[in-house]
A and B are shown apart, each in its own frame.
Chain A
Amino acid sequence: MAEVRLSGLTKRFGDTLAVNQVSMNIPNGAFVTLLGPTGAGKTTILRLIAGLEQPDEGDVVIAGRSVVKDTPAQRNVAMVFQQYSLYPHMSVRENLAFPLRSPLLKTPEDEIDRKVAEVAEVLRISHKLANKATNLSGGEMQRVSIGRALVRDPSIYLMDEPLSSLDAKLRSDLRIELKRIQESLGATLLYVTHDQIEAMTMATHVGVLDRGGLVQFGSPREIYENPVNLYVAGRLGQPRINVLPADIFAGAPSGAKTIGLRPEHITQGEGKVSQVRRVEHLGDQTRLHLSLDGHSVVTLSDSHTALEPGDTLAIQPRNPLFFDASGARIS
């Protein structure tokens, strides 16, 4: 395991700027999540680190050594692809053993057997080792694909939305499993996702990307509580942050254009009067869809609330976030 540093990383595809001046420090043993919508450059950053793409500018430093001129093999990174990419002509066992048999590692056969058995055990695919790689369910394929990375001891694990194609149950199981494995190995892991729950629950650090640029990098809590701008504030939180004109409530700082209210940033029972439009009972919580001066606002309520559509409810901000005209945070 090693520290990985990106500095000024830039990659263009034709006229499109896929990655724009990204600098980031991935500490040894960290679980870093890159969060952003499709096309934000998440996957390209992984491919630049892996050596599958050459950067136009900038540097990738693994364990203190620049690797931009190295081949993917020389960089000693492991990668889990979004589309599994299991070698279809091999069995599960051969797939898992493939990286260990590479000219780079040349692992002795008994060691290979031991490691493959170990990883298969952890990922609960031991009973499938003799299967052809094509003869597996989606979840099993993805676990084999993760296993092919885990058999190695690379500088960094790169994972490209490894859970995106799984069903909800399997996804939450594997999420916990992956976090546990990472902690027990002390592995450095860079994990790309557009799922904010994955980003929040697994990561020690979150990097938020927008159109190729790194907007904010910090702990999940920091990103959630102290977003640098409206874009970052909107990436995290479910239900999403409410964005209203700043002057709707009194007390906005000068220069504030919009106010960002997370559902829990709203005190009920005092302040401005709003109309209840819709009540969603989710079991553990209830969401209230309100209308405030024609703006829609979503907040949470007691799960047994007696409020019904048509009722009125006074609301008031509590620790809100203010943003200026450009979307930047005003503190």
Chain B
Amino acid sequence: MSSYSITEPSSRQKWVAGTLVIAYAVITLLPLVWILTTGFKSPVDAIAYPPKVLFEPSLEGYVNLFTTRTRVSPEQLQALPPPATWYEEIVRNRDMVIAGPSRYGERFLNSVIIGFGSTFLSVFLGTLAAYAFSRFKVPLKDDLLFFILSTRMMPPIAVAIPIFLMFRTLGLSDTHLGMILLYTAVNISLAVWLLKGFIDEIPREYEEAALIDGYTRFQAFYKVVLPQAATGIASTAIFCLIFSWNEYAFAVLLTSGTAQTAPPFIPTIIGVGGQDWPAVAAGATLFLVPVMVFTILLRKHLLRGITFGAVRK
């Protein structure tokens, strides 16, 4: 006997769905697996054809990512004292010595400062603006909201030259502040619109109840509205971080020395001593980590439904 249910999928449906999900996962994850494995390959294995699925793992890519090295002659190498550390040994095997640390750590830190800084600023300003647009009678509200949205209607890079000139005049070129402001300007429209949608859904009765319970408007906002907007704030923060973390074009154009982020730096690794694909892949792998951690940390807030049911609609 086979039973029919409208809520429980049949085993055939489950099988089809499972296959589709796995196929999708393979397609999307393959490039990531490629990068992850290449980071642990030796330079020879990295460019082997056909590609090696099984290989002897090596940390050479990571060592190269974090160091600068100089080539020495075999005689000079002989004259040196034995290598003190495991990474020195890896470098010596290639007839090189470590000349110093690379700038990857510094660039990575820049990415963290600029990415999280602009995310915080976008979400902070976006929440306040969205709350005002949602709750108050703002003159020309619809026009202002449209104007904010319209800043997204062209690719940001279209205004690269004016921004470049503006930054030069204002002394913002190659500064952390400049990049934070720029990414915030790009993200703020997304933040305002996303958050307004979330705040619109929070019934006003909560704030009214808090006002009557003896709180000020601002206290009602952060004690009652903010906790309920947590879902919206978390997802907005993730979107903002992903944009500013990955942004490449403006970073190339506007940063070079002090404020350069990781995206424009990673491709430069390739030029140091041949085509060092493992080092590039290692740089890319590490670069993925913060966004993944951030997303996983905020994942529980992405689940909707925490506010469901306390107000009868």
CA A85 to CA B228, docked complex, whole Å: 13
Contacts of A148 in B (CB 8 A): 209, 213
Contacts of A138 in B (CB 8 A): 312
- Given contacts A73-B216, A78-B212, whether A89 and B309 have CB atoms under 8 Å apart is no
Taking the closest CB of chain A, its distance from the CB of B267, in whole angstroms, is: 45
Contacts of B210 in A (CB 8 A): 87, 98
CB of A168 closer than 8 Å to a CB of B: no
Contacts of A82 in B (CB 8 A): 312
Contacts of B214 in A (CB 8 A): 73, 76, 99, 102-105
CB of A52 closer than 8 Å to a CB of B: yes
Contacts of A246 in B (CB 8 A): none
Contacts of A89 in B (CB 8 A): 227-228, 306-307
Which of B213, B219, B224, B311 interacts with A83 by CB under 8 Å?
B311
Let me know if A73 and B205 touch, CB within 8 A: no
Let me know if B206 and A73 touch, CB within 8 A: no
Closest A residue by C-beta to B312 = A83
Which of B208, B215, B227 interacts with A85 by CB under 8 Å?
B208
Let me know if B306 and A88 touch, CB within 8 A: yes
Binary B-proximity of A84-97 (CB < 8 A = 1, otherwise 0): 11111100000000
Contacts of B228 in A (CB 8 A): 88-89
Q: Most chain-A Cβ atoms within 10 A of its Cβ — which of B210, B214, B227? A: B214
Residues 200-231 of B at the A interface (beta carbon under 8 Å)? 203, 205-206, 208-216, 219, 224, 227-228
CA A152 to CA B206, docked complex, whole Å: 18
Contacts of B227 in A (CB 8 A): 89
Taking the closest CB of chain B, its distance from the CB of A45, in whole angstroms, is: 15
Taking the closest CB of chain B, its distance from the CB of A260, in whole angstroms, is: 37
Contacts of B312 in A (CB 8 A): 82-84, 138, 165
CB of A192 closer than 8 Å to a CB of B: no
- Given contacts A83-B311, A89-B307, A165-B312, whether A52 and B216 have CB atoms under 8 Å apart is no
CB of A72 closer than 8 Å to a CB of B: yes
Let me know if A86 and B310 touch, CB within 8 A: yes
Taking the closest CB of chain A, its distance from the CB of B229, in whole angstroms, is: 10
CB of B4 closer than 8 Å to a CB of A: no
Let me know if A52 and B310 touch, CB within 8 A: no
Binary B-proximity of A67-86 (CB < 8 A = 1, otherwise 0): 00001110011110111111
CA A275 to CA B28, docked complex, whole Å: 82
CB of B308 closer than 8 Å to a CB of A: yes
Taking the closest CB of chain B, its distance from the CB of A285, in whole angstroms, is: 34
Let me know if B310 and A84 touch, CB within 8 A: yes
Q: Most chain-A Cβ atoms within 10 A of its Cβ — which of B213, B227, B312? A: B213
Let me know if B311 and A102 touch, CB within 8 A: no
CA A103 to CA B223, docked complex, whole Å: 12
CB of A134 closer than 8 Å to a CB of B: yes
Let me know if A79 and B209 touch, CB within 8 A: yes
Let me know if A83 and B203 touch, CB within 8 A: yes
Which of B212, B307, B309, B311 interacts with A50 by CB under 8 Å?
B212
Let me know if B211 and A73 touch, CB within 8 A: yes
Closest A residue by C-beta to B228 = A89
CA A76 to CA B219, docked complex, whole Å: 17
- Given contacts A83-B311, A88-B310, A133-B310, whether A99 and B213 have CB atoms under 8 Å apart is yes
Taking the closest CB of chain A, its distance from the CB of B258, in whole angstroms, is: 42
Contacts of B205 in A (CB 8 A): 81, 83, 85
Let me know if A85 and B209 touch, CB within 8 A: yes
Closest B residue by C-beta to A74 = B214
Let me know if A52 and B211 touch, CB within 8 A: yes
CA A251 to CA B210, docked complex, whole Å: 59
Taking the closest CB of chain A, its distance from the CB of B207, in whole angstroms, is: 9
CA A52 to CA B217, docked complex, whole Å: 11
Contacts of B211 in A (CB 8 A): 51-52, 71-73
CA A102 to CA B212, docked complex, whole Å: 10
CB of A141 closer than 8 Å to a CB of B: yes
> Which 8 pairs between the two chains have the least Cβ-Cβ distance?
A102-B214, A104-B214, A88-B310, A99-B213, A85-B205, A72-B211, A89-B227, A85-B209
A72-B212, A83-B203, A88-B206 are known contacts; what are 16 more A-B pairs with Cβ within 8 Å? Answer: A51-B211, A52-B208, A77-B212, A79-B212, A83-B313, A84-B312, A85-B203, A85-B209, A85-B311, A87-B206, A102-B214, A104-B214, A134-B306, A134-B307, A141-B310, A152-B213
7 CB contacts below 8 A, A to B, read A52-B212, A76-B214, A83-B205, A86-B310, A88-B206, A103-B219, A134-B309
